[in-house]
Chains A and B, each alone.
Chain A
Amino acid sequence: MAAGKRAALPLVLTASDLLDGDVVFYAGAGWARGLDEAAVAADEAQAAQFEAILAETEAKGDPVAPYLMTVRIDADGALVPGHVRERIRSRGPTIRTDLGPQARQERQHVSV
């Protein structure tokens, strides 16, 4: 991400879990493993708030490597990462759909 240029709105805050490296998303009261649980900053004021949380997270170092990521909201209201890299990161390897968050979601669907 180019320094000084913030991700475009709407956006979410993402990072990696310190202990297991899982992709996590800021969910308001804490960090969640699924993008569908992420809190969304839709305007400048909320984005500024996310930037402050990002700075706090960096200082705390847990979760690690936080950054802001642009999303779009599809017709069903689901969050979709704006860039293909982020889509892969939020789901798991496209060549191994049995691994990563996509597999977790799959399992949840089965158990429900």
Chain B
Amino acid sequence: MYRYDEFDERVVRQRVAQFREQVGRRIDGSLTEEEFLPLRLMNGLYLQLHAYMLRVAIPYGTLDSRQMRQLALIADRYDRGYGHFTTRQNIQYNWPRLRDAPDILEMLADVQMHCIQTSGNCIRNVTADHFAGVAADEVEDPRPTAELIRQWSTLHPEFSFLPRKFKIAVTGSAEDRAAVAVHDIGIRIVRNAAGEVGYRIIVGGGLGRTPMIGKTVREFLPKDELLAYLEAIMRVYNLEGRRDNKFKARVKILVHELGAEAFIARVEEEYARLDGPSLNVDPAELARIAAYFAPPAFEALPEGSAVLDQAAARDPDLARFVRVNLYPHKMPGYTAVTVSLKPIGGPPGDATSDQMRALADIAERFSLDELRVTHIQNIVLPHVKLDEVPQVWAALVEAGLASANAGLVTDIIACPGMDYCSLATARSIPIAQEIAKRFADPDRQQLVGPLGIKISGCINACGHHHVGHIGILGLDKAGIENYQITLGGDPGNEASLGERLGPGIDAEQVPDAIERIVDTYLELRHADGESFIDTVRRVGLDPFKPVLQPKEPARAAA
């Protein structure tokens, strides 16, 4: 885990003090709302449908137990006893009061956390693979790179007023779990033919109203050139990105309008002009950062665990949890446990303060004091001994956190939607809840296999619907919530955008439609357990189109 140095600490504390003064001046009337708005947004404080909302950055989704306990305490003391984990690996509080916001920021600073750059037209919280440091297929842990970018981008004076917000994701694995192809910049840590570690840089991906898959602008960037190269990309975007139209201001539009080749030429031209050595990080500093992410003190353990095998043989619920929610660890005798925040019928991504404390306790005792927030709105315990999985599972059952559905049809991503968000055009959460109830039977979920449903309550696509195997987009059709369904999206290595299945349908028709899509898939899939996405890629959308038609009444025998 990264620990703030004196400089990080000072930046965050100063920002809290500044915001405390700004809030005071807003309340006493010396700042107008217009003057105050950008100041509160710079500190992650939005005004939503029912109340203010505070978005807290969780850099690359990594937390320790002390931080998780503090998040729980904030939820109890200043909010309504729960928090919402988001698709950007952040946490949001839905009910904070303006006058309490500086105290909340102070409590966050006490555990080296903040809300800086969780809003506004700047470089936002950097996200990373939630199995960083765990996955066997990893070239390198992506978090030192993400942390370096965090430090470089924090309060970067040149990039504080970009044309629009800017999101960067990093993965170090062969399998992309960070959705790098749909970020403004996606970074893949790779090895070249000579065996050197460097970066593949992808620019111009994104979701929202104009979804795009990013373009590779550099196949291999030597590792020590990262910051200067990022600086060149950002400078081209900052100068040439559109500022006349908010909807065309993201870098994806610039890349698209210029064409990838011309964009690359501009970046390379800018890069050649920059004084790289003055911008790139001193290798000693990079080594200092990387040392914080050195593998923890793993014990030498045998492969497998007789203790776990025996416990699972006795308890089918544990056996199911092991089958579904465990991810192989690179170290023998260890595993990563996905804690699903998707109980059947619950709001995706929500956790109560009691659950946060339970997770902190479990992480401290069983996961080398580490937790990860995933962009799928779950929590990962990254370093659990296989022998101790039964104890972890029992503790999760106790906390109401043992849903065995990671990666299955009920592990649904949903944005807050019109239940909370002032931008939403339709509700998302109730749709997720109803679909989950339809597929509550764990055997049926396992039969269906890996299937990602992603729901957004407006065109801004916080629920990543474009890259859902099944995507659902909620819109307002003459005052009625209406839902468009897309199929074939995928956020991973073969990133693809979903295609619309047909006209939108009403909320109450959605669960039926999803059920019929799944049934159609089960009829069509190859006997070898072909996954949903592979089936859709093979057969196309046509076989699924009838599901949007109203069911025909039973015909009388001729």
Instruction: Give the B-binding residues of A (Cβ under 8 A).
Output: 16, 18-23, 58, 61-62, 64-65, 82-85, 88-89, 92-96, 99-100
8 Å CB contact of A93 from B47, B97, B419, B480: B419
B321 CB to nearest A CB, Å: 26
Known: A64-B47, A89-B50, A95-B347. A19 touches B80 (CB 8 A): no
A100 to B95, CA, bound (A): 9
Say whether B50 contacts A61, CB under 8 Å. no
8 Å CB contact of B49 from A20, A89, A95: A89
User: Which one of B67-75, B425-433, B508-516 contacts A?
Assistant: B425-433
6 tightest A-B CB contacts, nearest first: A21-B51, A61-B33, A93-B419, A21-B52, A20-B97, A95-B429
Say whether A21 contacts B480, CB under 8 Å. no
8 Å CB contact of B420 from A58, A62, A93: A93
Known: A94-B427, A94-B430, A99-B80. A61 touches B32 (CB 8 A): yes
Kindly list chain A residues whose C-beta atoms are within 8 Å of the C-beta of B95.
Answer: 21, 99
Kindly list chain B residues whose C-beta atoms are within 8 Å of the C-beta of A64.
Answer: 33, 47
Chain B residue at minimum C-beta to C-beta distance from A88: B418
Counting contact residues on chain B (CB < 8 A from A), the size range is: 20 to 34
Say whether B430 contacts A19, CB under 8 Å. no
Chain B residue at minimum C-beta to C-beta distance from A18: B98
Say whether B97 contacts A85, CB under 8 Å. no
8 Å CB contact of A21 from B34, B98, B418: B98
Question: In chain B between 79 and 99, which residues have their CB closer than 8 angstroms to a CB of chain A?
Answer: 80, 95-99
B475 CB to nearest A CB, Å: 12
Chain B residue at minimum C-beta to C-beta distance from A16: B47
**Residue of A20, A62, A95 with most chain B CB atoms under a 10 A cut-off:** A95
Say whether B50 contacts A92, CB under 8 Å. yes
11 A–B contacts, CB within 8 A, in A order: A19-B27, A21-B51, A21-B95, A83-B479, A85-B425, A88-B49, A88-B418, A95-B347, A95-B419, A95-B427, A95-B430
Known: A93-B420, A99-B80. A23 touches B430 (CB 8 A): no
Say whether B50 contacts A65, CB under 8 Å. no
A84 to B96, CA, bound (A): 24
Known: A84-B418, A95-B347, A95-B430. A19 touches B98 (CB 8 A): yes
A19 to B99, CA, bound (A): 6
Check if B530 is an interface residue, CB within 8 A of chain A. no
A5 to B487, CA, bound (A): 37
8 Å CB contact of B418 from A62, A85, A99, A100: A85
Chain A residue at minimum C-beta to C-beta distance from B34: A61
A83 to B479, CA, bound (A): 6
Kindly list chain A residues whose C-beta atoms are within 8 Å of the C-beta of B138.
Answer: none
Check if B309 is an interface residue, CB within 8 A of chain A. no
Kindly list chain B residues whose C-beta atoms are within 8 Å of the C-beta of A92.
Answer: 50
Known: A88-B418, A95-B347, A95-B433. A22 touches B51 (CB 8 A): yes
Kindly list chain A residues whose C-beta atoms are within 8 Å of the C-beta of B481.
Answer: 84
A58 CB to nearest B CB, Å: 8
Kindly list chain B residues whose C-beta atoms are within 8 Å of the C-beta of A58.
Answer: 33
**Residue of B34, B49, B97, B418 with most chain A CB atoms under a 10 A cut-off:** B49
Kindly list chain A residues whose C-beta atoms are within 8 Å of the C-beta of B51.
Answer: 16, 20-22
Say whether B47 contacts A65, CB under 8 Å. yes
B483 CB to nearest A CB, Å: 14
A5 CB to nearest B CB, Å: 15
A20 to B480, CA, bound (A): 30
B39 CB to nearest A CB, Å: 13
B115 CB to nearest A CB, Å: 16
Say whether A23 contacts B50, CB under 8 Å. yes
Q: Mark B406-435, 1 if CB is under 8 A from A, else 0.
A: 000000000000111000110101100100
Kindly list chain A residues whose C-beta atoms are within 8 Å of the C-beta of B479.
Answer: 82-84
Known: A61-B33, A93-B50. A88 touches B419 (CB 8 A): yes
Chain B residue at minimum C-beta to C-beta distance from A82: B479
A23-B50, A88-B418 are known contacts; what are 14 more A-B pairs with Cβ within 8 Å? Answer: A19-B97, A21-B52, A22-B50, A22-B51, A58-B33, A61-B32, A62-B29, A64-B33, A64-B47, A84-B418, A85-B424, A85-B425, A93-B419, A95-B347
Say whether A84 contacts B32, CB under 8 Å. no
Kindly list chain B residues whose C-beta atoms are within 8 Å of the C-beta of A19.
Answer: 27, 97-99
A50 CB to nearest B CB, Å: 19
A82 to B479, CA, bound (A): 9
Kindly list chain B residues whose C-beta atoms are within 8 Å of the C-beta of A99.
Answer: 50, 80, 95
A93 to B347, CA, bound (A): 11
Kindly list chain A residues whose C-beta atoms are within 8 Å of the C-beta of B96.
Answer: 21
Kindly list chain B residues whose C-beta atoms are within 8 Å of the C-beta of A65.
Answer: 33, 47
A97 CB to nearest B CB, Å: 11
**Residue of B26, B51, B97 with most chain A CB atoms under a 10 A cut-off:** B51
Kindly list chain A residues whose C-beta atoms are within 8 Å of the C-beta of B48.
Answer: 21
A86 to B523, CA, bound (A): 43
A79 to B80, CA, bound (A): 28
A93 to B479, CA, bound (A): 18
Kindly list chain A residues whose C-beta atoms are within 8 Å of the C-beta of B420.
Answer: 93
8 Å CB contact of B50 from A18, A83, A95, A100: A100
**Residue of A23, A83, A93, A100 with most chain B CB atoms under a 10 A cut-off:** A93
Q: Mark B181-222, 1 if CB is under 8 A from A, else 0.
A: 000000000000000000000000000000000000000000
Chain B residue at minimum C-beta to C-beta distance from A22: B51
A87 to B23, CA, bound (A): 30
Kindly list chain B residues whose C-beta atoms are within 8 Å of the C-beta of A83.
Answer: 479
A70 CB to nearest B CB, Å: 10
Kindly list chain A residues whose C-beta atoms are within 8 Å of the C-beta of B47.
Answer: 16, 21, 64-65
